Amino acid sequence: MTATILVVDDEPDLEALVLQKFRKQIRDGTVSFMFAHDGVEALQSIEDHPHVDMVVSDINMPRMDGLSLLQKLQEAEDKKSTIIVSAYGDMSNIRTAMNRGAFDFLTKPIDFGDLETTIDKTIRHVQAMREARRRQFEAERAHASLSRYFSPQIASRLAAAGESDGMEVHWRDVAVIFTDIASFTSLVENAAPDVLGTLLNEYVGGMTDVVFAHEGTVAKIIGDAIQILFNAPGDQPDYASRAIGCAHALDSWAEAFRERWKSKGVNFGATRIGVHAGQALVGNFGGGRFFDYTAYGDTINTAARLEAANKFLGTRICVSAVVADGANAFRGRPVGDLLLRGRSEPLRAFEPLAAAAFEEPATAQYCDAFAKLEAGDAAAMPAFAALVGLHASDALAGFHLRRLLNGAKSARIQLE
């Protein structure tokens, strides 16, 4: 790397002297020199050639002296490391130069050996500062990129460790949440573009804030659908509990959002949520040009199908038994054994409930009716009928009652 040095001095023979004394370094390409005769000319030269690495300046010069130039250089956004050279080696000038940000101070007549040593030291300082700025820029860029996917805490940790840390594609146990909005296509077709833009931006922003509050990872946002990961990229031993907690919080936020927009005359659909856990292929799938941290595999597909199952079940949240069993003190009620598309074996699913809802007598009534359904007990139908009669809003109980009326014999549910 060639260091470019601007020498500012009104002595007419200094240029030739410098070029002679540093001819070897110039020939080797380690340094190159530019010259100006006063501070005004120096500032113009730097404006025309912003790649200047350092400045060596006299103090006594016409139009603008070296101390005034030094102050101007330190006020600039791109500060230049400056060596002040003067015949006036008094303490007053030294103190003024240092107070104004001079990197070093030399006196005339110039000792070129001393000047060479000082220039070398200054160049090393400039290179170190540039490297520090480069690292800071890379860290800020990495943080900005990572902040799209990860909570602020995780993004900062990953940016500090290096963007590649934990980003390589690998198999990993994860919990996955899929969310989608009911009847969103209809809303897109009927809403004004400005309303839809505001609506979707607020929705995605709010949902992402909820995910980050639970230290989840936003793996994908496709329109109104959001894919969320837990236990990736960092270790979260309680990832099943985090996923359940996050699903409840997302549901609460989405319902409040829905009511808020309903009061403005916009019919926004319910957010459906599916949660599953298992092995997935996780990492940055963006290649060398893009950053696309996401996950693939049967675990991901199953979470998406559990989200879609809510449409048929009448629920808003549907989680697999794997997640329910892995969560601490899971509260919920069984949905049934779902035969999902692409799976040969049924998957036991649950509807997680908030603590207050779990303690209600209706939950015990439902669980009793479901146990009868599983046992093939003929009393299951009247038990569900009684529950629906008392709690007409219980969509899941109504779903099972309709199945029984249509001849269902077990808790196994075929879904397309």
- pLDDT, one tens digit per residue, over 308-342 is 999 999 999 999 999 999 999 999 999 999 998 87
Q: What pLDDT sits at residue 254? A: 96
Question: Among 185-189, 389-393, 397-401, which stretch is predicted with the lowest mean pLDDT?
Answer: 185-189
| Statement: residue 145 has pLDDT above 60 | no
Q: What angle do CA 404, 350, 213 make, to 5 degrees?
A: 150
Q: What pLDDT sits at residue 172? A: 94
Q: What percent of the chain has pLDDT over 90?
A: 47
The mean per-residue pLDDT over the stretch 139-168 comes to 58
Residue 407's alpha-carbon distances to 362, 385, 400, 401, 415, in angstroms, are: 24, 15, 11, 10, 16
Distance in angstroms (rounded) separating the CA atoms of residues 202 and 364: 38
For residue 269, count other CB atoms closer than 10 A to its CB.
Answer: 16
| Statement: residue 380 has pLDDT above 90 | yes
Which residues make Cβ contacts (< 8 Å) with residue 231, sequence separation at least 6?
Answer: 172, 173, 174, 175, 239
Please report which helix (H) or strand (E) contains residue 57, including its range: strand 54-58
| Statement: residue 133 has pLDDT above 80 | no
Cβ pair 318, 349 in contact under 8 A: yes
pLDDT tens, residue by residue, 280-289: 999 887 666 6
Distance in angstroms (rounded) separating the CA atoms of residues 227 and 178: 5
Rounded to 5 degrees, what are φ and ψ at 238? -95, 30
Q: What pLDDT sits at residue 311? A: 95
Q: What is the mean pLDDT of the chain?
A: 87
pTM passes above 0.85: no
- Highest-scoring range by mean pLDDT, 29-43, 121-135, 170-184, 333-347: 170-184
More confident residue, 150 or 109: 109
Question: How many secondary structure helices (H) and strands (E) does the chain include?
Answer: 16, 14
